[in-house]
Amino acid sequence: LITMDWCSKFCSSSGHKINPPAGWKDHNFSADEPLMPWFGIDIGGTLVKLVYFEPTDERVNSVPEAETTRKIRHYLLSKTAYGDSGVRDVNLQLEDQKINGRTGTLHFIRFPTSSMPGFIALTKSKGLAPNSSTVCATGGGAHKYDSACQSLSLKFKKMDELHTLISGIQYILKQNSLEAFYYTDPLNNETCKSEFLTSRVDPPYLVVNVGSGVSILAVAEDHSFRRVSGTRRGYVSRTLLLANWL
């Protein structure tokens, strides 16, 4: 979720330990501020998931940031659907987020991976990517489309997918307590219903990530994790968090 060069503060690519940075509570990091716009992208086998940080503080009026923000707002944020299958999930957006000393809104966009070439063409033709921008990217497509994005003067900072998954869960749970829920009487179709967790969700827990493949991760109290099981093929795209099952 941390969308530029300093995203490595969240997601170490050298090991399996997630160390939240100083200032984690308010996400007001002291790293050098990267150029706008701030994007993060997960290019999977089926879907591309894009997150965009839209600045909303008074500094958004600075030049040239204002021009770039205006273009993105016009082409990406003025609509919730793109073509036949692209979607901006308005119900998922997070407002008043403080990241790297800036305040803004996190927007979440998804579209089929087959539309990635069209997205790159749109970004290039509309000038949505300024020179020397770095985008944190994960998924197999981060390697596949690396060279294509160089034509946009973009640099992909490739991140480990499982590290970003775990740190993303930590971030979302701290931002919205209603993101975690469970099913009561899951084997009874008549009485089964979802209930929000009212207590704080802390490790240890299991994460079952179901996408093109399935990965089951055991997350320990110190936020380290290990893959305990999984398969190569999945059937739905969903992340399940099973608290205190270690």
* Residue-wise DSSP of the chain: ---SGGGGGT--SSSSB--PPTTTTTT---SPPPPSPEEEEEE-SSEEEEEEEEE-SGGGGSTTHHHHHHHHIIIIIS-SEETTTEEE-GGG-EEEEEETTEEEEEEEEEEEGGGHHHHHHHHHHTT-S-TTEEEEEESTHHHHTHHHHHTTTEEEEE--HHHHHHHHHHHHHHH-GGG-EEEESTT-TTT-EEEE--S---SSEEEEEESSSEEEEEE-TTSBEEEEEEES--SS-EEEEEET--
Average pLDDT on 31-40 reads 73
Q: pLDDT tens for residues 95-113?
A: 999 988 889 999 999 999 9
**What's the mean per-residue pLDDT of the chain?**
77
- Among this protein's residues, is 161 annotated catalytic? yes
Name the residue ranges covered by the structural domains of the chain: 5-163, 177-243
5-163: CATH number: 3.30.420.510
177-243: CATH number: 3.30.420.40
Q: What is the pTM of this model?
A: 0.72
Average pLDDT on 59-83 reads 80
Q: Indicate which residue of 33, 65, 161, 179 is catalytic.
A: 161
